Chains A and B, each alone.
Chain A
Amino acid sequence: MSRPTSRPALVGALLKKELKAYSRDKIYLFLTLLVLIAIPVAYTFLPTTVSETITLAVSPPVTSMIDDAKDSLRAMGATDEQLAELDNADLSQQQEGLQLIEFDNEADMQRVIEGTLEAWRTDDGELTLRDKEAGEDEPEGAEKLGLDIGIAFPKDFITDVAAGKSGVTVTVYSDANVPEEIQGAMTSFVREAAYQLAGRQLPVNMADEQSIILGTDRVGDQVTLKDKLRPMLLFMVLLMETFSMASLVSTEVLQRTVTAVLVTPVKIGDFLLAKTIFGTFMSLGQGLLVLFLVGGLTVQNWSLVLTVLFMGSVMFTGLALYVGASGKDFMGQLFYTMLFTIPLLIPAFSVMFPGSAAVWVRAIPTYPIIDTLVGAFNYGATWSSSAGSLAYAAAWLVLLFGAGLFALKRKVETL
């Protein structure tokens, strides 16, 4: 006696079986939970700002140098217009990429750079010095400054340079850990300031700043590490599911339970469909959970992000079917899966580097997935601007998923 059973009911029964097997696989269940907890927790600690400023100590304060120089220069015959130029050249005013901390006393600045004195700045911008060795307390409501390079100008620097006096020397104090390019740039900076004060114009013509900046100017609006890592973490959650899905498939092949399933009304198509639905659901479900926890969806990007996450889930499910079809034991399966997943992880790491990915990285099947996610989350990518990547991802998806289905189908048929 047999009861007619619909295909959806059969697939539903298989899905129930998958869920039960998944919950019994303690090691992957543990690792899945670990990833789902660890990733959002780690994400909260990532830096939300980008440090793109060089902090430079200067002694004496630039304004006092200028004020002192004005009288001498006037006596030397400088006009009011020429003196006004000095005010325009005041370095203490906000400069992109350079933060000046001004010291009245060169010796104090020297000690701060040397590390025997601490510099703190209060909320109202006042500089406070603390001698830790002498047992002085930390100033309240102040922030400790990390100063490791400073310029000590001689008191009459401006006047002497403007007058063409020889033997003018400026000292750059630097911690040995300051990168050479910064030490070199600060030396160049002092020399150029002196050239300007001496009235020696640049030996070249330079275009205005706006015309030499290529691409969107992101100074002060750089993509933070937190934003950069969001797509990468989501991608890794999708990819991690490949291990557990491949393990489930592999166990089924190894223990030949699939042959038992196929003597029931279940056809091989139902079996493959159930595996696909389960793998995609598990991968996408975890991706969505992490997405909910780390945020980043906007009115503009939600449809694109969700579509790409779905494509990634299907792609990794296909990979899991392919890898799992080999039917290896736990360790064999683990390392076999790693063989495929490690190369697929490379594009995810490329997002941490500035600039475009290398050609060989772009050729990896997962590149269009991570590229579209990065674009959607961080650069305002739209459906039309991502069309190329989506088409490329779709082509890889068809190929990988097709390979997975084919490999598993053939394996099951030969059991």
Chain B
Amino acid sequence: MSPKLTWKVLRKDLALGPRSPIFLWAIVLPFALTLILQFTFGSLFNPEPRLGIVDGGDSEITAQVEDMKGISLTLLDDAEELKSNVEANDLDAGLILPAGFDQAVKDGERPELQFYISGESYASNRIILSVTAIDLVRGLEGSKAPVTVDVVSYGTAGLPISVRLTPVIVFYALVMAGIFVTGSNLVEEKEQGTFMAMLVTPARIGDILAAKWMLGTLLASVLAAATLVLNQALGSNWLQVFVVVAVAAGLSSMIGLLMGTFAKDSTIMFGLVKGLGIFLFAPTLFYIFPQWPQWIAKLFPLYWILEPIWRVSILGGSISEVWVELVVAVGITVALVPVIGLVARRVQAQMASAG
């Protein structure tokens, strides 16, 4: 193997790679998934009761709801718009606070509370919003409540869904850039005959495969790190994060290289990624559902790269906590080298006899 020739092949791939639609998809996907999963679908997994308020006179109630956690507040200007939003279930409930409402309550005038509930809102959300609204109105009176309520909390709160979804997005960054780009790049070279053309130059098959692996590792590292930054999951220990991300990118790129070496054409490459998709994806589910028995995740190869990213980057831990996982990941990566070599020699022989 010649580092100089490897570098030449890598430089060619870096120059020509961005012309491929797969390359572009690999770059776009982490951004698109972050947008879709975190900003759009995040609320699907963790829905908050939605309250709309039309405030005609700077009510204290509005200010207090704004400060509350767990209630999604929408401020509207028009009472009819609020009612139509409530009716369409765009809001679970709506509250109309006319000018002078607070003062009228304080003066004991018993004004009408214009509170509306959507017919499609869940009963639990109705209770939460109704009881909260009444409590806030009571608060306007200024008198002391006849009871003191102490809250005793047990355990520690689980991580929010937005954090638990981050491994899913990192996974896609690694799979697209590490596995798909690496494998497809190699397969395209085989399909277009440029792979054979390179082999008649001084470059040996090892140089070409090493360049492809480096391309995937580089791209997967950059995109996985970018994904972590986008999801605000890149801790201050960035040097340690870089190590775990590089190990992850290295293994995923090695898997891509194996698939690319094995696959005769793009169809088989696509079929391999699709067919093995659930096997590769499975460990990410255990981060979304932490109550599942976690040992099962260890049966899947990508667990050994996702767990270090999870613990070091997302949870801000130290690399020393995940040395076992890193050793296993590097071990799998190294173990795949002779397997790829074997497959590559067979493919080379087949191509030579076909040519």
Contact = CB atoms under 8 A, between A and B. Distances in A.
Interface in B72-113: 83, 85-91, 105, 108, 110-113
B152 A31 contact: no
B66 interface: no
Contacts of A218: 119-120
B64 to A, nearest CB: 11
Given A30-B271, A168-B146, A180 B70 contact: yes
B158 interface: yes
Interface in B21-39: 21-22, 24-25
A332 B271 CA distance: 15
A13 interface: no
Contacts of A161: 146-147
Interface stretch (B4-12, B125-133, B281-289, B341-349): B125-133
B151 interface: yes
A298 B355 CA distance: 61
Which of B147, B149, B266, B269 has the most chain A CB within a 10 Å cutoff? B147
B120 A222 contact: yes
Interface stretch (B136-144, B224-232, B241-249, B308-316): B136-144
A182 interface: yes
Contact of A204 (B68, B128, B137, B149): B137
Contact of A354 (B71, B112, B120): B120
A96 B146 contact: no
B115 interface: yes
B78 to A, nearest CB: 15
Contacts of A31: 274
Given A181-B71, A213-B117, A334-B270, A172 B152 contact: yes
A149 to B, nearest CB: 10
A206 B115 contact: yes
A110 B155 CA distance: 13
B149 A167 contact: no
Contact of B111 (A168, A176, A205, A207): A205
A44 to B, nearest CB: 18
A356 B86 CA distance: 11
Nearest to A188: B135
Contacts of B127: 54, 96-98, 185, 189
B123 A200 contact: no
A331 B119 contact: no
A215 interface: yes
Which of A52, A331, A338 has the most chain B CB within a 10 Å cutoff? A331
A3 interface: no
Interface stretch (B42-50, B165-173, B195-203, B295-303): B42-50
A215 B153 contact: no
Contact of B126 (A97, A164, A206, A352): A97
Contact of A169 (B68, B124, B147): B147
A6 interface: no
A171 B148 CA distance: 8
A336 interface: yes
A104 to B, nearest CB: 19
A98 B143 CA distance: 28
A330 B267 contact: yes
A216 B89 CA distance: 10
Nearest to B46: A179
Contacts of B90: 354-356
A206 B70 contact: no
A206 B113 contact: yes
Contacts of A203: 105, 108, 110, 137-138, 140-141
Interface stretch (A70-78, A191-199, A262-270, A390-398): A191-199
A182 B128 contact: yes
Interface string B252-279: 0000000000000111111100100000
Contacts of B154: 113-115, 173-176
B152 A171 contact: yes
A97 B125 CA distance: 8
A177 interface: yes
B327 interface: no
B236 interface: no
Contact of A27 (B43, B111, B270): B270
Contacts of B47: 354
B239 interface: no
A96 B126 contact: yes
A202 interface: yes
B118 interface: yes
Interface string A326-358: 000111101110100000000001001111100
A181 B21 contact: no
A205 B124 contact: no
A170 interface: yes
Contacts of B25: 335, 338
B151 A355 contact: no
B19 to A, nearest CB: 11
Which of B68, B83, B131, B265 has the most chain A CB within a 10 Å cutoff? B131
Interface string A313-328: 0000000000000000
A6 B93 CA distance: 65
Contacts of B88: 215, 355-356
A349 B40 CA distance: 10
Nearest to A169: B148
Contacts of A114: 154-155
Contacts of B21: 331-332, 335-336
Contacts of A180: 68-70
A220 B121 CA distance: 11
Contacts of B141: 203
Nearest to B144: A166
Contact of A216 (B22, B115, B116, B119): B119
A204 to B, nearest CB: 4
Which of A157, A181, A338 has the most chain B CB within a 10 Å cutoff? A181
Given A27-B271, A97-B126, A213-B119, A173 B44 contact: no
- Which 4 A-B residue pairs are closest in the complex by CB-CB distance? A97-B123, A181-B70, A188-B135, A215-B119
Given A192-B138, A213-B118, A330-B267, 5 more contacts: A176-B154, A177-B155, A215-B87, A215-B88, A355-B85
29 contacts: A27-B268, A168-B148, A169-B147, A171-B150, A173-B152, A174-B151, A180-B70, A181-B48, A181-B68, A182-B128, A184-B68, A184-B128, A185-B128, A195-B138, A202-B137, A202-B138, A203-B141, A204-B113, A205-B110, A206-B113, A214-B117, A214-B118, A218-B120, A330-B265, A331-B188, A335-B25, A355-B88, A355-B89, A355-B91
Interface of A: 26-27, 30-31, 50, 52-54, 96-98, 110, 113-115, 157, 161, 164, 167-177, 179-185, 187-192, 194-195, 197-198, 200, 202-207, 212-220, 222, 329-332, 334-336, 338, 349, 352-356
Interface of B: 20-22, 24-25, 41, 43-44, 47-49, 68-71, 83, 85-91, 105, 108, 110-113, 115-128, 131-132, 134-135, 137-138, 140-141, 143, 145-158, 184, 188, 191, 265-271, 274
